[in-house]
Amino acid sequence: MANKRQLFAIAALFAALAFVPLFVTDSYIRHLFIIAFVYAVIASNWNLSLGHCGVFNFGHLTFFGIGVYTAAIASKTFGINPWIAMLLGGGTAALSALLLAAPVARLKGIYVVLVTFAFSQLALQLVLSQSQITGGAEGMVRLPFLQLGSYSFLKDFKFGYYYVGLLLLALSCLFLAFLSNSSFGKSLKAVRDAEDYAAARGISVARQRILALTLSAIFTGIAGGFYAIYLRVASPEVFGFGTLSLALSMVLIGGVNTVFGPVLAALVLTFATEAMAGLQGFEDARFIVIAVAMILVLRLAPEGLVDLLGKLRLPVRPART
């Protein structure tokens, strides 16, 4: 279980984030926070299969993309309420993860990477080929926006979307923290660290891997649905390698053995990459800078940024797993 200092630091972080829109009125800064929340959900849920279960699922961003297109098609083509469309994104993402997990559960090493990468390419080709439904390479635009009664989220300078994104992140973190500290979470770590020993103790390795992949897709798909409804766009770019590499860097820099490490890394890297994009000469080199930062963090603190903060005697230390 996380110690009291870690819980206090986490509570303080979310409390501070809750007050941000009251002091930051610039809609672009709020936009960056919203994007950071989405990335934080993606990275922290990827950590469930990668960090806690040891399955290198290279198709995790596919669950996000499936959530994006589910919400887009459901809301625009079928006229489903955007709030429900976002939740449907989580359902279809979990279903696709279940289908992917069946062949992956008994594979190891590079074969897992190859199968999951092939799955992501299959999903991308499906989106591109079914242009009458998905819009093909041009995507889908002008998706319905969120409303709460008579209140429209479209003209409030991203105030409402900010809190929806923050709530989504908070619920995702609570979900992951519960799983991580449950007997199920401990069984995932046993599968990761000593597969043969776990099997000898009666743990079904294949079943735990299937559950880990499926559960990691739920909030990832909902985040994809929120992303589509927020930007009012569904584009094949969500399946791109750039998005995948950025999310992976958040997992590795934040810490693969923590729930909240990727969240902290997502906030830092989202604003850092945006700041470097505005500096002359760093427009394209920013990703090299992130790669170097990832190497340095992993060299100094293999357990990630949160562990590094602990070594610096800051009041955040990761829960050991």
Q: Is residue 22 part of a domain?
A: no
Q: Is residue 264 part of a domain?
A: yes
C-alpha 173/C-alpha 196 separation (Å) is 30
Which helix H or strand E contains 152, and what residues bound it?
strand 151-152
Domain that holds residue 161: 4-16+29-311
Which helix H or strand E contains 293, and what residues bound it?
helix 286-300
C-alpha 146/C-alpha 249 separation (Å) is 31
91-128 b/e with 16+ CB inside 10 Å = b?
A: bbbbbbbeebbeebbeeeeeebeebbbebbeebbeebe
For residue 113, what is the domain's CATH number?
A: 1.10.3470
CB 68 within 8 A of CB 234: yes
Number of domains within the chain: 1
Q: What is the pLDDT of residue 103?
A: 87
Q: Is residue 21 part of a domain?
A: no
- The pLDDT-based confidence of 235 (bands split at 50, 70, 90) is very high
Q: Is residue 215 part of a domain?
A: yes
- Contacts of residue 211, Cβ cutoff 8 Å, sequence gap at least 6: 184
What single-letter amino acid sits at 276?
Answer: M
Q: Is residue 318 part of a domain?
A: no
Residue 192, pLDDT > 80, answer yes
Q: What is the pLDDT of residue 307?
A: 66
Q: Is residue 107 part of a domain?
A: yes
Task: Dump pLDDT digits (tens) for 237-287.
Answer: 999 887 888 888 899 888 887 888 899 999 999 998 888 876 666 666 777
Burial (Cβ within 10 Å: 0-12, 13-18, ≥19) of residue 278: exposed
Task: Dump pLDDT digits (tens) for 54-91.
Answer: 888 888 999 999 999 999 999 999 999 999 999 999 99
Q: Is residue 253 part of a domain?
A: yes
- β 140-141/233-234 pair status: antiparallel
pTM > 0.85 = yes
Q: Is residue 23 part of a domain?
A: no
- Contacts of residue 189, Cβ cutoff 8 Å, sequence gap at least 6: 52, 53, 321
